[in-house]
Each structure stands twice: as structure tokens, then as C-alpha cells.
Structure 1
Amino acid sequence: MIGLPGAVTACLFDLDGVLTSTATLHRIAWQRTFDEFLAHRSDGDRAPFTLHDYTAFVDGRPRADGVRTFLSSRGIQLPEGGADDSPDAETINGVGNRKNEALLRLIDEKGVQPYPGSVAYLEAARAAGLKIAVVTSSANGEHVLEVAGLTSFVQARVDGITIVEERLRGKPAPDSFLAGARALGVAPGEAAVFEDALSGVEAGRAGGFGYVVGVDRADQADQLLEHGADIVVDDLAELLDGAK
């Protein structure tokens, strides 16, 4: 009924872009932050931030990792700073905090909408007795789930705060998904990973999970397969019996 191998007893869902449309808000927040940052630099490649930059260097990664990876691609280096840096600080964490402020403003302005097909899939997974966790690099995971009305589906949550507190490596390393499986009490081979980011499907494959579902929200189906997805769908409802 839910399109998964019989050995799978748990589902590990990425949040932004898989369950909710907030990936679009993340992309806009990153673009605004980086374009403003680059406009005031005299070093490195200062061309505007693009969709390719988002998918290749930022999407799915913890915030500081995204800043570091993107700026490195432009030949720009900044000091790390600390997690409590001011958003105005010229540090990796400062730029990341600037992006988070932009994101929270967008969430307040536009709200958070879950994908209807994802809600239908969550309902089917819960009815089938599968365990459900959300594994996201965002430090705003709890807030987004609450605003989207999805909290009741989730038995465990691993988010950006967990990643920092437990010193986990961010995606494409599998650490956060492995932590999600542990939180549900299942082995990796018993869990399916659902991801829209290239770094996320790569993490699912690296962790030895039982099934990796790529969700194609950015016209990158071939790349999702190349990075480790077992199957790619445009919407999770496609996995349900009777879907057309």
C-alpha cells in the first residue's frame, strides 16, 4: 500500500521539500543573504547566488556547512565564529544566523504549507503501523512541524539543534539519519529515507538504509538516482496504491 519493501518498518523523512514547501523559503532566504553578502565583498567570485549553487552547495546541509561550502566555491574564506554570533558578524556562523533571520521572516509572512500528497502518505504510513521520524538539518524543525500541523505524526525528531548538541556530521554524512533510526529503535536496513536534496539521498545510501526515496522538487531526477536514490517520485502520493 505504501510502496516500500516488506523489511521496512520505519520512515525517516527530511522536512523541507519533502513534507513541507519550506525548501522554497530556504532557497529565497539563502539567495537574499548571499547576494547581499557578495555585493559588499572585494574578493572571490561575486556573481549572484543561483539555483545550481543552492542544490550543489547548500540544500540539505546544516546551516554552517552550507555557508562554508558555498563560500569556498567562490574562493572566499571567513573565520568560523560561534553559534551565538550576531547576524552582522563577518563569520561563518554570523552569515548563517543572518540567513536564519531571513527565513523566519519569510515563514511569518508566508506561513508553512505541507504537501497534500505528503500528508496522505504520512496518514497511510501511520495506519500501516510504521514508525515515523523527521530528520532535518534545519534548527527550526520543531517550529516548522508545529506551524504545518504535522507534529502528531512524528515519534522522533533529529534537527539542526540535535546535530550540534550531539556533534553529528551533517549530510551527506549519514549521521543524522542513523540518529533518527536509533531514536526509533530500528536498524538502518529496516528504515526508508525520504529526501529531496542530493546530499540527503547520498546520506541515505551511505548509511546502508533499506530504501532511499528521492523526491524530485527541483527537476533533478537523474541526479537523485546518481547520488543514491532507489526510486524517484515527484510526490509521495505516487507511492500509494491507487495513485495515478
Structure 2
Amino acid sequence: MKTVSDSKRAFYASYPRPINSVYRRVIEELLVEMHLLSVNADFKLDPIYYLGIVTSFERLMQGYQPESDKEQIFNALCTSTDSDPETYKSQAGALLSIAKDKSTDELVDWLSNPTAENDSSHIVEPIKAIATNDNFKYSRPFAIGIYTLLEECDHELVQDQEKRNQVLDTIAENFGISGEKMKKDLELYRSNLEKMGELLKVIEDVLEASRKKRAKRAEEKQAKEAKEADEVKEATAE
């Protein structure tokens, strides 16, 4: 069986460049999570999981530089765990588009009995199968996928803990999974997003201070050179 070390080697072979230390932990945690699920006999890929992985990556990798490398890193994450990055993106996008025009109640109803919309049967069938799968393997990315769908429907609702938890309990009951586990995972996810936001603010403040310092040094150098030039002119005139 493929090991975590095998997946890590595959990832760094696919993306051999150094990863900024702030984000390395994010990547390695995602990689380990994706690997452990990929080798679990009960785990089945589904669009909600895909959306959770894509969203986790996008949110927790905000501010990564160079920005152009993010797609290569995501692709390496998927291929190193024997998955297709385009499938992740396309199914996540298709599921999110279904949620876009629904109210929260409509989304909860749809998740409990999904119906195909605009040739989306490839999205619907795996979600239908979850409720009837006695061995369904719940995962943290699945919870994040649910959270992302709710956020798409009603951003204010996900900020209200009581209302959010009521909806999560209903969805969890419909899927036959633990509402407490899902809520706990999402609290951790929200906390991680908050910490990343704070960290990015610190980084931006440091960069701004550095830019100001460089600008000040440049101004001082320019002023010094102008003064020296004036002194030379005065000496020549004498």
C-alpha cells in the first residue's frame, strides 16, 4: 500500500521548488489528509469533498507568492495522491453553481434529495449515494464543502453560530453523520482562517514598513547626492 512518505516524495518530485514556510504546514496537512483518505477502503470521492479540498486550498493559501505557483502546487497535491486536479476543480465548480441561486432551506432540501440541474447527474449521483452508504467515510474536507455551500447561499447565516449549527445538525442528520464532529471540524477551520488572516496582516505590515524604510533611504541618498552636486558647483564657481 502507498505510504504517506510515498505521497510526499511524489509531491516534491512534481513541485521541487521551496514552499514559503508560512504555507508549508498547510500544504503538508492537506497532503497527509488527502493521502489517508485515498488509501481508506471506505472512502469514496464525491463533489462535496472536492469542494472542501479546493476551498481549503484557496482560502488557506491566500497571499502566497508567487501567485502563479499556486496552481502547480494544487496540481501536485492531487497527482501525488493519485487524483486528477481538473476533476476536483470542475466538480467543485459545478456543485457551487448549483448552490448559488438557492436559499438555505432550498439547499438543505436539495442535499437531502438531490436532483440533476443542467446536466449535473455526475454531481447528483455520488451525493445521493452518501445517505444510503452505511460505511460512508466522513472527512473534514466534506464538512468544509458543506460550509462553503452554506456560505454561498447565505454569508450572514454562517456568521451566526446558533443558526449555522441548527442547519449543520439538519444536514448531518440527513446524511447520517455526526453533527458534533462536523461542527467541531468547522470551528477549527474557521479558527485557522482567522489565524491566517491575522498572519497575512502582520506580513503586510512588515512589508509596508520595509518599503517605507527603503523609500526613506532612497530619498536620503538622493538628497545627499544633490547636496554634494551643489557643493561641487559652488567650488567650481569660486
Q: TM-score range by the shorter chain?
A: under 0.3
Structure having greater relative contact order (Cα 8 Å, sep ≥ 6): 1
When normalised by structure 1's length, the TM-score is 0.25
Greater fraction of residues in helix? 2
Larger Rg: 2
